[in-house]
Every structure is written in structure tokens, then in C-alpha cells.
Chains A and B, each alone.
Chain A
Amino acid sequence: MAIPHAQFAKGEAGEGIIRLDGSWDAAHGDALERLVAEMGEAAAHHDGALVVILDRLVSLDTLGAYLVFRLCSRLAEAGRSVRLEGATESQKILIEEVSFAPPPAAGDRRSLAPAYDMLSDVGEAVVDAGRDLSNGVAFFGAVVAAFGRLLTGRTRLRIASVVTQLERVGLRSVPIIMLISFLVGAIIAQQSIFQLRTFGTVQFVADLLGILVLRELAVLLTAIMIAGRSGSSFTAELGSMKMREEVDALQTMGLDPLEVLVVPRILALMIALPLLTFLAAMAGIAGGAVVAFFYGGVSSDVFFSRLQNAIGLNTFMVGMIKAPFMALVIGLIACIEGFAVRGSAESLGSHTTASVVKSIFVVIVVDGMFAMFFAAINY
């Protein structure tokens, strides 16, 4: 491991001699680059033939060999006559092996101006959103067709697959969804009681809690949790199957990936989400009731009779009707993103993220549209 050197000297016959010394290897990469630049500089100020002598080299690897080659070829390009001397046979072979002319650097696509970039980004985002929408509609159509084939008995329902998915998206999410709903119900009750105290109408916490939880909170919380929990896992599963050509393998066996992979998942989601929403609603009300009793001093008799007065079947139904629609959009987005995964691990990651973000966004949009709809029909 000798430190590399290079020296420029004038020879007897007036030729410029560049003598290389030491280890010309990757370990001294930065020093070598500098030396080659210096030597190129020195040689440029000398007119006459040039000789590069390698006889003192301790070692030469591909990096060193390439730099020697580059030094020579740059000088030769500048119209100088260059000779290489003192190379061993293996060094010669090595230099031959690495001798290659780098193609002219393809100029990077430079941005014109930040404002231009921003405009083009916005444009791309709009086009992407449009494409997402049309893809979504097309995919939805394909899924509906697959469900249609199922209902008309032209394909069979994969019961085992549906049950497995039901266990994964339904049963396994019960504890976390009930826990979160319980806590959110408790927090809302506590905040309401705190405000209602100033009016001395603490018992109205039951009305407030019942309507809020049944109409909105239970279904929203559940849908958001499921988007994060099951939507992401659908995308990751389908995406990695896509990456490893498993989806293609299914197709070559004459199976429709939609029927085998997508329908059972979406069906399971559409069954599980209403059930989970119901459990979330019960947990949320229970959380509120506990707080009303211990913190608000509302007796359970008062709490439940107020609850009974405040809510009707319609309050309950508003929440439950929304659940399967939420399940549908979560499932569709998760599957579309999963099938959009291409090749790399990075792509899998970014599509999984996109799946969760898009589903949560769409869940909230759908909830808003339902709110307008129910307000319009006065339900």
C-alpha cells in the first residue's frame, strides 16, 4: 500500500516524461484523480512527445488502469503523441480491458425555472388524479362484472378465501377498533360534560354522544382504521405477488386474478366493516357512559332513558348504511394500488402508502357526500 505519486520531467530528447509511482488502486482513488489532473496540466504546458512510464508502479487495479488510460487518451485527443512504457504484460491487458471512451455526457434535463417546474408538477398531479379516477371506474366495473358472474353462478365463490380474509380483516381488528372507539367515546363525553355543565344540562351528553357516535364516529373511525390496517396489507400482498409474477402465474392457469384475489377480499371487507362499525358504536357509547357516570355524575337510568329518546332506528341506520360503501372504496383502492406495483421494493412501499392515504381521503369524502344526501332527504 504505497502512496501513489506522479512526476513530470523533461527527457534528454526533449520529450515530456510522466513517471507514475506507488499503488494506483481504488484505495487511493481521490489522490489518483488529483494526480492525473496535475499531470494533464503539466503535460499541456509542454510541447513535444510524451511518455508515460509505469515501471515503478507497485500495483494497478481497474481504477488506476482507467485513469492511466484516460490521461493518455485525453492527451492523444489534444493532438499529442503519447507512449506508454514500462507496463508489465498483465498491466497492459488490464489497461486494454478498461479502455473505453465515455459517451458524451447526456445533458441532464435541466429545469427551466422553478415556477415552470411547479406548474408542470401541478399539471402532472391533475393528470394523475384524472387517470386514477378513470382507472378506478374501470376497475370497479371489472369487479362488478366479477361479482355478477358470481351471482349468476358462472364462477364459484371461494368460501375458504373469504373466511380467511374475514378473520384477518374482521376478527383480528376487533380489539383495536373497540379500544379506540371506547377511548374516543370517553373523550367526547368528557369534553361535552365539561361544556354542558355551564348550562346545567349534563344529562344531554347522552343525546350528543348517541347521535355523534352512531351517525358518524363509529363508521369513520372503523373505516380509517381498516384503511390503515387492511387496505395497506391488501396492497402489500397483491403488490408483492405482482412483483414475483404470481399474478401472471394465476392468469396462465386460466384463473382470473380478480376472482381469486380481489373478490374475496372486497367481499370480506364489505361483510366485516358493518359488523366492526356496530361494535365500534357499542364501545364508543360504553366509553361515554362510563365517563358520564363517574365524571358527569349522570346515573345510568337517566343516561339510558335520554339515549332511548334521542336516537331512533334512523340514527343507527345512517351509520350502518355507510359502512359497506366505505368497505368498497377501501378495497378497490387497495387492490388498484396493489396491481399498480412494478418491479422494485420502493414501488411496493410507495403504492402501499398511496393506498392508505387515498383510502382515508376517499372515506372522508364519501362520508361528506352521505351527510349531504341524508340532510337532503331529511333522514
Chain B
Amino acid sequence: MSIFSRPAPANERPDPPPELGLPIIEIRDLTVGFGERLIMDGLELDVRRGEILGVVGASGTGKSVLLRTIIGLVHQRKGRVRVFGHDMGQLTPQRRRLIERRWGVLFQHGALFSSLTVKQNIQFPMREYLDLSESLLDEMAMVKLRLVGLKPEAAERFPSELSGGMIKRAALARALALDPEIVFLDEPTSGLDPIGAADFDELIATLQKTLGLTVFMVTHDLDSLAGICDRIAALGDGRVLHTGPLDEMKKQSHPWLQAYFNGPRARASHFYTQPAGGRTT
């Protein structure tokens, strides 16, 4: 853009010191169950500010339930969830609402409101929380659409007229509507073709960098794990089996981790062409 085509300004200020590494979500002794069944039993997990955490686990181990417990859709039997340093269990509904504004959620199936267009979906949280003029609302919706790589034409379409990849992108745009500090993604690349999935990964990594997001991502996608996740947390048996960067996960002796990270699928994926985990974008 033209306004940047000039020498760097003299009084360049360093980026504000990133408080990277400080836990933004702390989960302690979390126990969640439905009826007789315990899904989580004394689970402990930290999510650090500014990281992309990949959460893996066999189907039905409770990855979605963990995500839903953190955002308060499922109630825990025991334990504590602290987000931004606030114990979510202790907050009044008003305080909770303030915290909820600071995160965005991309549900597994998008959860776009089917009776609203994409644009109205994106504007929905903005209308609820921000006092903006109609024209600025429209422009912001277009900015968010562009941010997630959707064409402006998509704005006026209804969710039923979108492809799977577009639904994920539109839902991400809605999750980003209020400029959240944390985004929760539940299998963002499932159901996308490999190229679409790689695009989506790149999008998440770019957004994470430009907006300084913390990303909690439930995924099965080995390429996402290798490509964009800073750390991986593996769930199993109602707790976290191990957390760490990818190469550390590969060295674990737990049979499921062995099968997952060193199995034939893993060997066929980008895992072994990239010597170490971490960003590639």
C-alpha cells in the first residue's frame, strides 16, 4: 500500500514485550463426566499466551468436551479452569460475559446461523457488543472476509449456499469478529481437501502472527500439527498423556502416541520431511 512506500520511520518502537510463555489458560484437576461415564479425570493443561496448541487424541477421548468445558458449555464435576487469570467457575455472569468477549470459537461444523447471510453472521457479535455505524459494520465485515480469504461475493450468501471450506472460513471470520485474544478451533481442517486444509493452516498461522492470537486447536490433521502447532497435547484415558513440541511427542513410549506419531500415516505425511516441528509458513 502506498502509505508504506517510504523509508522506515526513525522513531521505530519495539513491539510490546510479548508475554509469550505465560499461561493464558490453566486447567487443574479437571473432572468431567456424563452420567456414569467419566470423560476427563484430573486433567491438567496449560495453554501459553501466543502459542498454537494442537490437541490430539483418538475419536471420543473428549477433545471436543475439553474445549466445551473451557468455554463453559459443559460443566465440570471438579477442578478449575482459569482463563486470563480468572477462575471461570467463580465469576458472576456479567464478568463471564466480559471474558467470553475475549475469545472466539470455531465449532466443528461451523455453527453459522442458517437464517443469516455470511455478512450478517460476521456482524452478529459486533452488533451485540460494539456501537458502530452501519457503514463501518459493513466495511468491517468485508475486512474480516478478506482476512480469512473469502471473496466479497460470499458476503450475501446464506450458509446453505457455501461449500465446506467456505463455511469453515466464514465461521472463522465470525469467530474473529470481536478481535479475540484466544481462538478455539474444533477440527478446523476436517472435511477440507488437502490443499484447502494447507491453506487454512497457513491462514491460521498468519492470523496468529498478525493478530497475536493464542490458538487452541483440536485436530486430527498431522500436517497441521507438523506445520503450524508450537506444542501438542495428546489426550487419552481422561487426562493429558503428554504435551510438548512434535519431536518430543515422537519419542514418547506410550503405545497410542507411538502409533499416532510414528505410524504409517505419520510417516507418509510431512512429518518426516520436516526434521523438527514448528512453523514452516
Report whether chain A binds chain B.
yes
Contact code string B139-173 (vs A, CB < 8 Å = 1, else 0) = 11011101100001000001111000000000000
Contact code string B102-117 (vs A, CB < 8 Å = 1, else 0) = 0000000000001100
A256 within 8 A of B: no
CA distance A25 to B180 in the complex (A): 11
A34 — nearest CB in chain B belongs to which residue?
Answer: B133
Q: Which residues of A contact B12 (CB under 8 A)?
A: 86, 88
On whether the beta carbons of A94 and B143 are closer than 8 Å, the reply is no
CA distance A34 to B10 in the complex (A): 29
On whether the beta carbons of B132 and A83 are closer than 8 Å, the reply is no
Q: Which residues of B contact A98 (CB under 8 A)?
A: 143, 146-147
On whether the beta carbons of A26 and B179 are closer than 8 Å, the reply is yes
On whether the beta carbons of B131 and A343 are closer than 8 Å, the reply is no
B178 within 8 A of A: yes
On whether the beta carbons of A88 and B13 are closer than 8 Å, the reply is yes
Say which one of B1-9, B63-71, B245-253 lies at the interface with A.
B1-9
Q: Contact partner of B114 among A69, A105, A346, CB < 8 A? A: A346
On whether the beta carbons of B139 and A33 are closer than 8 Å, the reply is no
On whether the beta carbons of A96 and B11 are closer than 8 Å, the reply is no
CA distance A255 to B6 in the complex (A): 67
CA distance A69 to B11 in the complex (A): 20
Q: Which residues of B contact A30 (CB under 8 A)?
A: 130-132
Query: With A88-B12, A102-B139 given, is the CB distance from A93 to B210 under 8 Å?
Result: yes
B211 within 8 A of A: yes
A312 within 8 A of B: no
B36 within 8 A of A: no
A111 within 8 A of B: no
On whether the beta carbons of B13 and A100 are closer than 8 Å, the reply is no
On whether the beta carbons of A100 and B146 are closer than 8 Å, the reply is yes
Closest-CB distance, A164 to chain B (whole angstroms): 29
CA distance A67 to B135 in the complex (A): 12
On whether the beta carbons of A96 and B4 are closer than 8 Å, the reply is yes
Query: With A90-B210, A345-B114 given, is the CB distance from A96 to B1 under 8 Å?
Result: yes
On whether the beta carbons of A343 and B114 are closer than 8 Å, the reply is yes
CA distance A178 to B2 in the complex (A): 78
A85 within 8 A of B: yes
CA distance A343 to B113 in the complex (A): 11
A97 within 8 A of B: yes
Q: Which residues of B contact A72 (CB under 8 A)?
A: 3
Closest-CB distance, A106 to chain B (whole angstroms): 9
Query: With A90-B15, A92-B4 given, is the CB distance from A97 to B210 under 8 Å?
Result: yes
Greatest chain A CB density within 10 A among B115, B126, B138, B206 is at B115
CA distance A88 to B140 in the complex (A): 22
On whether the beta carbons of B3 and A83 are closer than 8 Å, the reply is yes
On whether the beta carbons of B160 and A344 are closer than 8 Å, the reply is yes
Closest-CB distance, A303 to chain B (whole angstroms): 55
Query: With A30-B132, A88-B15, A344-B114 given, is the CB distance from A61 to B159 under 8 Å?
Result: no
Q: Which residues of A contact B142 (CB under 8 A)?
A: 100, 102-103
A63 within 8 A of B: yes
A46 within 8 A of B: no
Q: Which residues of A contact B95 (CB under 8 A)?
A: none
Question: Size of chain B's interface in residues, with CB distance under 8 A?
Answer: 43
B77 within 8 A of A: no
Q: Which residues of A contact B159 (CB under 8 A)?
A: 343-344
Contact code string B90-134 (vs A, CB < 8 Å = 1, else 0) = 000000000000000000000000110000000000100111110
A11 within 8 A of B: no
On whether the beta carbons of B132 and A84 are closer than 8 Å, the reply is no
Q: Contact partner of B147 among A33, A83, A97, A346, CB < 8 A? A: A97
CA distance A98 to B115 in the complex (A): 27
Q: Contact partner of A85 among B11, B144, B161, CB < 8 A? A: B11
B14 within 8 A of A: yes
Closest-CB distance, B62 to chain A (whole angstroms): 26
Query: With A62-B144, A100-B142 given, is the CB distance from A344 to B179 under 8 Å?
Result: no
Q: Which residues of A contact B210 (CB under 8 A)?
A: 90, 93-94, 97
Closest-CB distance, A186 to chain B (whole angstroms): 44
B209 within 8 A of A: yes
On whether the beta carbons of A25 and B11 are closer than 8 Å, the reply is no
B142 — nearest CB in chain A belongs to which residue?
Answer: A102
CA distance A344 to B112 in the complex (A): 10
On whether the beta carbons of A343 and B158 are closer than 8 Å, the reply is yes
Residues of A within 8 A of B (CB): 25-26, 29-30, 33, 55, 61-63, 66-67, 69-70, 72-73, 76, 82-90, 92-100, 102-103, 105, 243, 342-347
14 chain-A/chain-B pairs, Cβ below 8 angstroms: A30-B130, A33-B132, A33-B133, A62-B143, A63-B179, A66-B140, A72-B3, A82-B3, A85-B9, A86-B9, A88-B12, A97-B206, A98-B143, A343-B161
Residues of B within 8 A of A (CB): 1-4, 6, 9, 11-16, 114-115, 126, 129-133, 135-136, 138-140, 142-144, 146-147, 152, 158-161, 176, 178-179, 206, 209-212
Q: Which 8 A-B pairs have the closest CB atoms?
A: A343-B160, A346-B115, A344-B114, A61-B179, A30-B131, A85-B9, A29-B130, A344-B115
